[in-house]
Amino acid sequence: MNPMTTGVLLLGELPANELASLARRIEEWGYDYLWLGDERFFREVYSSLTLCALNTSRIKLGPCVTDPYSRHPALTAQAIGTLDEISGGRAVLGIGAGISGFAELGIARSRPALAIREAVTLIQALMRGEEVDFQGRTVEFKGGGLNFSPLRPDLPIYIASNSPLGLQLAGEVADGAIISSCASQATVDYSLGIISEGASRTNRDTAAIDRVARLNCCIAADSQEALQGVRMSAVRSLSTYTRFAIAAGLEVTPGLIDAVAQLGYTHDTQKLETLARQAPDDLIRDATLAGTVEEVTAKVVSMIEWGITQVTIRASATPRQGIATTLEAFATEVMPQVREQLR
């Protein structure tokens, strides 16, 4: 496993021409993966990934992440198989429990770890070209199959989770595990320990599992400017992963826990700004990559030494710079120094 692969996570925020241009630059800067969020109600993920595939030639592409509730897993198999064909074998599938848009769509997210397990089982069978009759407790599929032969029956599947059951499942069955907000040794050790437990259940070697840290990131000449840049996105992530942060040993005050619980998952800037002011700097640093080139380099070196094999960043802007500044700096300044220090 390459210990130093890198990825970029984007949401469907950009118009098509801007997304195509940015995808080309991300590939030119040397990133290995381009992940797009399957977020309601942003631009649709698979058509956006197709656009990226047609404007790149090397980089791997996939949703980070889709879920087993808002789209039937058989339709996910259809979509990712089509993307793999279009991209010439560069598709990867990221799947998790999801959260965005569920309230608006009237979706109840029940038994998430089981739903992911059953979705992965069905998707893998369909990608192998099988006709499947699947009766799970959360997923049903009655005597159907894809009407085309997928390019790769073993297309990589990554499970994104910060819950113990989800991390164990990734260790058991996935090609990769995507862990969010894990930029401290405590959170990395906690996560990788649970992934290893899952891997042992199916006699798998943890070294064969890509261990991805999905982190909000801002790189600036001034450390405080970078920290402020990631603050809102870090708080949004914390709204989903509070229990993970506490279980891993991060210091989260009772007042912040209550405020996060009341907020829920949102992209409302005003609400996030209010909560962000309550989040202590140390908590933000433990959940993100924020700082100067040298500071971020040191953190990435440490994370790889702790056992992370891929760092995927969600870049944040500041009042003085856009996300492209961080994306370019991470690939062309941080990672060369990381590789040199680890050599």
- How do residues 2-35 score in pLDDT, each as one tens digit? 458 999 999 999 999 999 999 999 999 999 999 9
Give pLDDT, residue 239: 64
Domain range enclosing 121: 5-217+293-342
Give pLDDT, residue 252: 76
Which carries the bigger pLDDT value, residue 165 or residue 241?
A: 165
3-state DSSP helix/strand/coil percent for the chain, to nearest 5?
A: 50, 15, 30
CATH of the domain at 106: 3.20.20.30
Give pLDDT, residue 37: 96
Pairing, β 140-144 against β 132-135: antiparallel
Task: Give Cβ neighbours of residue 258 (< 8 Å, ≥ 6 apart).
Answer: none
The proportion of the chain whose per-residue pLDDT surpasses 70, expressed as a percent, equals 97
- Using the structure block, give the residue that is written with the tokens 């087993």: 68
Task: Tell me what the mean pLDDT of segment 54-76 comes to.
Answer: 97
Element (H, E) at 158: strand 157-160
pTM attached to this predicted model: 0.94
Give pLDDT, residue 266: 67
The proportion of the chain whose per-residue pLDDT surpasses 90, expressed as a percent, equals 79
Model confidence at 1: pLDDT above 50: no
Model confidence at 98: pLDDT above 50: yes
Whether residue 233 lies inside any domain: the answer is no
Whether residue 252 lies inside any domain: the answer is no
Written as six digits, the tokens of 264 are 């829920």
Whether residue 53 lies inside any domain: the answer is yes
Whether residue 70 lies inside any domain: the answer is yes
Give pLDDT, residue 3: 58
List of E strands, 249-328: 288-291, 310-315
Whether residue 258 lies inside any domain: the answer is no
Residue 210 phi/psi, 5-degree rounding, is -70, 125
Whether residue 278 lies inside any domain: the answer is no
Which carries the bigger pLDDT value, residue 107 or residue 152?
A: 152
Model confidence at 66: pLDDT above 50: yes
Whether residue 125 lies inside any domain: the answer is yes
Give pLDDT, residue 264: 66
Residue 214: strand, helix, or coil: strand
pLDDT one-digit tens code per residue, 280-339: 888 889 999 999 999 999 999 999 999 999 999 999 999 999 999 999 999 999 999 999
Which carries the bigger pLDDT value, residue 96 or residue 238?
A: 96
DSSP 58-113: S-EEEES-B-TTTS-HHHHHHHHHHHHHHHTS-B-EEEE---TTHHHHT----SHH
Residue 299: strand, helix, or coil: helix
Give pLDDT, residue 153: 96
Whether residue 92 lies inside any domain: the answer is yes
Task: Tell me what the mean pLDDT of segment 80-86 comes to.
Answer: 98
8 Å CB contact between 325 and 292: no
Give pLDDT, residue 265: 67
Q: What is the mean pLDDT of the chain?
A: 93
Model confidence at 103: pLDDT above 90: no
Q: Give the sign of the dihedral formed by CA 106, CA 109, CA 114, CA 115.
A: positive
Residue 30 phi/psi, 5-degree rounding, is 105, 10
User: By mean pLDDT, which of 27-41, 44-58, 209-223, 231-245 is the weakest?
Assistant: 231-245
Counting the structural domains of the chain, the total is 1
